[in-house]
Each structure stands twice: as C-alpha cells, then as structure tokens.
A and B are shown apart, each in its own frame.
Chain A
Amino acid sequence: MNRLAITRVLLGALFLFRTSALSHIARGIHAPVIGPLLGWPDHAPVHAVVGGLVLPSSIAAMLAIVRTLSALSFTIGYRVRASGVVAAGCGWIALAQDPFGFTFTLHVMLLAVAVHAFATKPSASSYTLARIFTASIYFWSAIPKLNVAWLSGDVLRAYHALGMGHSAFFLDAHASATAIATVVMELSLPALLLCRRTRTIAVIIACMMHTIVELFYHPDVFGWLMVVLLVPFWPSNEKLSPSASR
C-alpha cells in the first residue's frame, strides 16, 4: 500500500469516526455529533441555518446516510474521486444546516477528503497536491494568530483559566513563549515540509508539536487529522511516475 492510500484509509476512518456518534468516546470534541450521524434531524421547532433553507428531516437524514456510505466507499478505495467529493459535499451541507456546530477542524477535514479524492494515484503530481495542501493548512493556521492577543499569550492564559488547557505552557511568561513558538513553527513548517532536504525533520517536529498539543489541550481531532495528513511526507523508496494518468 502506498503512502497516499494509507493517508486515504486513515483519513476516511477519522472522517467516519468524527461524523458519527462514535466520536463521543473521544476527549475534547468541540461540537459533539447530535444523534447517530452529523446532521441528523432533531425535530426542534426552530432551526438556525446558513442561507435560510431548512432541509426537510427526511432529506437531512438521507444526506447523512449518503455521506457515511460515500465516506466508507472513499475509505475502502471504491470510486474514490466521486465518493470523496460526495462525502465532503454532504458534510458541508450538514455544517450549513447547523452553523453553531461549525468548527474549522471539521471544515479542514472535509476539505482534506475532497483534496485526497483527487490525489489517489501514486504519481508525483498526486504527492505534490497532497503535500501542498498539508503545508497550506499550517500556513493558514498561523495567519489568524498574528495579533497581539495571541502573541502576548493572553489567549492561552484565557484557555487555561477556562480549564481548556492544563499545562505550565499556558501560564504567565510561558504563555507568550508558547504562543510565539506555535506561530513560528506553523509559519516554518510549510517550507520545511516542502523542501526535500528538511522534510523528515519537519515531519518529526510537526508530530512532536501535535503530540504536545494533544497532551495538554484537546483540539478536537485536529492533531490526529494533521498526523494523518503528514503521511505523504514520510520517507519512502516508492518509484513515482512524474504524472500518472487517472
């Protein structure tokens, strides 16, 4: 099994886990799944939805089932492109039907499934797409942190005060150092990951960062998702065609 196939299987499994009631066993889930599947209708008298269109319960339930079956198909490698795009699309519809349940972790996971639906064949081009996508997540995660509230450590101190982070890393002067180190790592990782010479060390740094964050603060399944998306960077002796056909 090549690294892209491993990524697809792990990503699909994480998707199925996070968009079903199974996710209740995980710690730190920020918007828990209500009902058996994400987007399952709950028959409340009032709904908040993006765009004002409330889907009938039967349609919402059908979309949740189609999404799950598509994610299963994506995971096992059957019609990967179509199933990945359908799974992600149905996932975004579910998020639009529940804007209070929107989290960027879910959004990035859906985007990852959509991208990996197009990066199935183990060609150089597919690996480049998968790697650029992962690198871009680090870059775009750093941008909103470039402000005084984050860099001064105030956000981390607030998390600690709210019981959402339990480490000395979140306290006093350490908070600012931790906040700055996070931004520096997130801004450096894209270049380090994309450069062949520094790729292995970058994967180690990234995995260490996610492990530390996971130990002291549970950011939904974001850490797991990123470790999965780092698989295409693992060193390997795979022989790749420059641009394999579909």
Chain B
Amino acid sequence: MTIRSEHRIVALIACVLVPLATCVFDRGAVGYTMYAGVTTYRLRVTASRNGAEMRVSCNDIARQIGGSAPLALVGADSWRPGRSTRALESHLDAVARGACVVTSAESVIVVLETPSSESARIHERCP
C-alpha cells in the first residue's frame, strides 16, 4: 500500500489516536461504543429550602437545561433506559443548577443511581 507521509499522519490520528482517546466520552471504553451497551438509571434530586427538603421533578429540570439534556432527564425520576450514564455523571452540576432554578432552593443534592450502585452524587449550593 502506498501512502504519503502527510496521509500517514492523518491516518495515525484518525485511526489510532482518536479511537484510543474516545474513552474520555464513554466510561473509559476504547473505540466507538455506539450501540455496544445499554443501561438503566434513576436520578434523585432533593432541594433544601428553609430547613425543609423537597423532591424535584427531573422533567421540570429538563426544561431549564439547554441542548439535548431532556433526552437524558425526562422520566429519570423512575428507572429508565439509556445507552450510557457518562454524560449525566459528568454534568450532575448542571442538573443541580437546573434544580436551583426550578425551586429557588438554598442547596440541592443530586444522586445518580444504577441498578448495581450509586454512581455519582453532587451537593450544590444554589446562587
């Protein structure tokens, strides 16, 4: 196979380095993980105001966060399916800020649960 040095560098980046680096996006798995897995998860969001605690609906939070966040948040009060919880784990702070907007609370606790364990938790003070 004939390949120029410039093309060799592009091939090294696109065919080796980028796929190796994709572990950043999906639970440490190397390669393109599309459709290779499925999981279930649940979000428990609790807001505190004047010493009282209240549950916050994920559907209400979804309306406050931009982009595609509703894809992951709608219906997440109960166990729901998803291909990965990686984006949620990495952005629980945004979920907490969304809950702050919804409730005007002093602080918010967000817990992400998977069937096997509590995956991630964040305690955020509201501005």
Contacts and interface: CB of A to CB of B under 8 A. Distances in A.
A210 B19 CA distance: 21
Contacts of A147: 36
Contacts, number: 152
A99 B64 contact: no
Given A101-B71, A144-B37, A155-B36, A132 B97 contact: no
Chain B, interface size: which category? Answer: 35 or more
A191 interface: no
A214 interface: no
Contacts of A145: 36
Given A34-B68, A44-B64, A97-B67, A158 B38 contact: yes
B29 A144 contact: yes
A44 B66 contact: yes
Interface string A26-49: 000001101000000111111110
B65 A126 contact: no
A100 B67 contact: yes
A140 B32 CA distance: 6
A115 B66 CA distance: 31
Chain A facing B: main interface SS: helix
Given A133-B11, A155-B37, A111 B18 contact: yes
Give the interface centre of B4, B33, B64, B94 by most chain A CB atoms within 10 Å: B4
A129 interface: yes
Interface in A138-157: 139-145, 147, 149-150, 155
Given A99-B87, A143-B31, A162 B67 contact: no
A31 B7 contact: no
A115 B36 contact: no
A104 interface: yes
A144 B36 contact: yes
Interface residues of A, number: 59
B69 A100 contact: yes
Interface of A: 31-32, 34, 41-48, 50, 97-105, 107-108, 111, 114-115, 118-119, 123-126, 128-129, 132-133, 136-137, 139-145, 147, 149-150, 155, 158-159, 162, 194, 217, 219-220, 222, 242-243
B112 to A, nearest CB: 13
Contact of A102 (B7, B16, B87, B95): B87
B52 interface: no
Given A48-B94, A100-B91, A133-B11, 8 more contacts: A47-B66, A47-B94, A97-B67, A100-B88, A103-B34, A125-B2, A137-B32, A219-B34
B67 A42 contact: yes
Given A101-B71, A118-B10, A129-B11, A46 B30 contact: no
A136 B15 contact: yes
A129 B22 contact: no
A114 to B, nearest CB: 7
Contact of A115 (B6, B14, B31, B34): B14
Contact of A129 (B7, B30, B35, B90): B7
A25 B38 CA distance: 25
Contacts of A100: 67-69, 71-72, 87-88, 91
B37 A114 contact: no
A104 B32 contact: yes
Contact of B14 (A31, A43, A133, A143): A133
B98 A46 contact: yes
Contacts of A34: 67-68
A244 to B, nearest CB: 9
